[in-house]
Structure 1
């Protein structure tokens, strides 16, 4: 899946706010070129919420295992939740295993190299093997984010 395919797929879900930081918009330059997906039916980034999925396009300090310094490389990161994380990795999130230092294989669902303990999964350059799984995991992350939003007290949540 290309970045544009992922963005179109997620943006079509209800209540999604898609942010694509770029020079001149006030965002930090480390975020430029990446994409962040929030469940925000009012169109405002939730104050206390993290995105439910992201697309990153470059290596970050402490996170070079995805080798995103290659041309056209990207990684979709998905807050898939405990059940999906356990199903895909064979272990529950939250363990104290160190982040892997082995290069991530393209088109493979893996524990996120930094946020695995929080139940995040990742796919570097999703392709034919992971297209369906990536879409299903993104749908699950969206559903979980919507449920969290609806439980929040306040005018727009629970």
Structure 2
């Protein structure tokens, strides 16, 4: 899967706003080239809440274990919920991390920084994670939509 494939897939889900920071838009330079997905049926970034998925294209301070400084490396991060986290990793988000290689390509793993919050990650998704990643992204979108509806009192 390419970055454009993922953006096209997630952007096609109901009520999704894909934010792609770039030079000149007032966003911090560290976010340029990344993508943030929100459930935002009105087309504006929610004042509360976080994205339900992101695509990051470079290492960040305190988040270098995925080795995104390699050519063409990127990571998809997904807030798929505790149940999916346990299902995919075999442990709860708060359990200590084992000997995972956070830079391993085409592998579903705990997010190297936000795994304790139930986030999953895939570096350079490929044939081994294509369908699983789509399922995780659908699940994260569903959870984000439910949170949005609860905030609206529905």
Q: TM-score, normalised by structure 1?
A: 0.93
User: How far, CA to CA, are the matches of 2:87 and 2:21 in structure 1?
Assistant: 32
CA distance in 1, matches of 2:110, 2:42: 31
Post-superposition offset of 1:48: 1.0
Q: Are the structure 2 counterparts of residues 99 and 150 from structure 1 closer, same or farther at C-alpha, using a change threshold of 3 Å?
A: farther
What is the distance in 2 between the residues matched to 1:100 and 1:62? 18
CA deviation digits over 1:48-75, x for unaligned, max 9? 1100000000001111111111111100
- Structure 1, unmatched stretches of 5+, are none
Q: Is the 8 A contact 2:102 2:109 kept in 1?
A: no
8 Å Cα contact 1:100/1:113 also seen in 2: no
Structure 2 alignment gaps of length 5 or more = none
Structure 2 SS opposite 1:67: coil
Deviations, residues 10-30 of structure 1 (Å, cap 9, x unaligned): 000000000000010000111
Alpha-carbon distance, 1:38 to partner: 0.1
**C-alpha RMSD over aligned residues:** 1.5
2:23 maps to: 23
Deviation, structure 1 residue 101: 7.7
TM-score normalised per structure 2: 0.95
For the structure 1 residues 101 and 140, does the alpha-carbon distance in structure 2 shift closer, same or farther, using more than 3 Å as the test? closer
The CA distance in 1 between the partners of 2:146 and 2:6, in whole Å, is: 22
Pairs within 5 Å for 1:1-158: 1-95=1-95, 97=96, 102-153=101-152, 158=154
Q: Does the 8 Å CA contact 1:76/1:124 hold for their aligned counterparts?
A: yes
For the 8 Å contact 2:80–2:140, the answer to whether it is kept is yes
CA separation of 1:150/1:25 partners in 2, compared to 1, >3 Å: closer, same or farther? Answer: same
